[in-house]
Structure 1
């Protein structure tokens, strides 16, 4: 996962894509129950994180970054469960710095920050709260390629999501050697 100007970014949310929610609890498989999940105060939903997602994410042709309200906790709590190294973490604006007009128009609070972080670089954003308003805003304000990939929070990341992301990221990276 070495950073390169040619490699697209992949901004990854935790709740929804990695921790599915919204369906009946018995519908979710659970995975490892190591000491990190048994300690007092641990989030029991961490057991829903599929450890196979880590190697699949690491194999994508991109630079991964957390785009989650978990912020640095994603590196402490989530990354070890799926075998990822610590990733860059997108810093979110303070609520008082968010544009009220954006909120009224349905723009996600993450959208402007992600476009700013990408700074023209191609990126994919994986989240369960992406809307057409976000897609329209990114299209108008980001000069690079962007894929806003909405994941069904009841299912989390699926094989189809990984296939779509891999194909798009390869396309966005362009031909090798150019």
Structure 2
């Protein structure tokens, strides 16, 4: 009888922020493209979602790109569970796990409140974090507290996720993580 191969390591986690990466904001009025119509939003989410001024900025093509990545996506956003109600359906994604604010230790001064939560949730597992508020203090805190591989990808909130951002994610996730 041949010895059993050890199971492969778990896929890396992908922590996703909504405002900024998936819903661009800021800058001059009317600068962000609108990818969805109010009619399409009502079709997918129902009449109660009509009139939400930011949902039209979601690019539904991002859902297929995220789903194709070799990772386990997790919402890391102040939208918390609302991301599964309002954002995931517009992206064509199933409900994702949610990192809830207050699930971990408090962040020290200058470190984003999500940073300790992500590190605690990942528990040593490789992860990528896509957010528009990642700074030098977050990078240092992660380097000091997380033993596994990480990619902290800061996205321009006025532009949102770009082809270049997806290329960086794909290269990192398909590399020796």
Higher helix share: 1
Secondary structure at the counterpart of residue 129 of structure 2: strand
For the structure 1 residues 87 and 58, does the alpha-carbon distance in structure 2 shift closer, same or farther, using more than 3 Å as the test? same
Q: Distance in 2 between matches of 1:143 and 1:94?
A: 20
Q: Distance in 2 between matches of 1:37 and 1:145?
A: 40
1:28 Cα offset (Å):
1.4
Q: 2:16 is matched with which residue?
A: 12
How well do the aligned residues superpose, as a CA RMSD in angstroms? 1.9
1:94 Cα offset (Å):
7.2
Residues 1-178 of structure 1 aligned to structure 2 (within 5 Å): 5-33=9-37, 34=40, 35=42, 36=45, 39=48, 42-93=51-102, 98-99=106-107, 102-103=108-109, 106-173=110-177
Rg larger in 1 or in 2? 2
Structure 1: where are the runs of 5+ without partners?
174-178
1:136 Cα offset (Å):
0.5
Give 4+ residue runs of structure 1 displaced > 4 Å after superposition. none
TM-score (norm 1): 0.86
Structure 2: where are the runs of 5+ without partners?
1-7
Q: How many pairs are equivalent? A: 165
TM-score (norm 2): 0.87
